[in-house]
Amino acid sequence: MKILVIGATGGTGAQVVKQALARGHSVKVQVRDRVQAAQFDQAEVMVGDVRDAAAVDSALSGVDAVVCCLGVRLGQDPGTVRSAGTANLVAQMRRHGVRRLIAVSTVGVGSSVADQSRIARMMWPRMVGRPRLIEADRAEAAIRDGGDELAWTLVRPPRLVDGAGGARLQVGPSVRTGMRSQLARADLASVLLDQVTDERYVGAAVTAVATR
């Protein structure tokens, strides 16, 4: 299967590329600067901004599925790259007839709020920043509004950490999370790639968390 990875130069995106290649997939990445893609010597590299219709249109050629890892690092101004880029990606996927989209979101958005502990509901927005959650919610809305042409799945992780991964995971539409909940980026990448061929969560948002 040929997978396009958006946001490949981030911590999660780089793990998705690495693991997708290890699983035998053909991988294409879209980056804003070719220098950033030097690490992806086994992937096809496309240079362009995710908000640019022509660039995304070109990147989608021959693609079977898209894994979108757009995000904002803690402490950074979230801006609108995530939501605007996601909206453009959805529009171009519909144009190309590419249906399968798996996208990273975050806990603290949508239905996942109800599954947070009382303390997490109060503290999580302060920790990650309300503007960051609002921007993630906009990106989710762009995907949900994509219509029946898309077979989408949203994956909402809690706090992300580096590490080898391999933890026992709980993944589903209703998973309890608290302030200590976390997930290795390597494990998030594994969950994202599992969704490429497993359609049980098409049209759904799931939370993924490491169990202790």
Average pLDDT in the chain: 95
List b or e across 17-51, with b for residues whose CB sees 16 or more CB atoms inside 10 angstroms: bbbbeeeebebbbbbeeeeebeebeebebbbbbbb
Model confidence at 75, pLDDT cuts 50, 70, 90, reads low
Cα gap 86→172, rounded to integer Å = 23
Q: Tell me what pLDDT residue 212 has.
A: 72
The mean pLDDT of 22-49, rounded to a whole number, is: 92
- What is the pTM for the complete model shown? 0.96
* pLDDT value for 33: 85
> Cα–Cα distance between 81 and 95 in angstroms, integer?
21
Cβ(99)–Cβ(147) below 8 Å: no
Helix H, strand E, coil C: the string for 142-200 is HHHCCCCCCEEEEEECCEEECCCCCCCEEEECCCCECCCCEEEHHHHHHHHHHHHHCCC
Q: What is the CATH number of domain 2-210?
A: 3.40.50.720
pLDDT in tens, 148-179: 999 999 999 999 999 889 999 999 999 999 99
Sketch the domain layout of the chain as residue ranges. Answer: 2-210
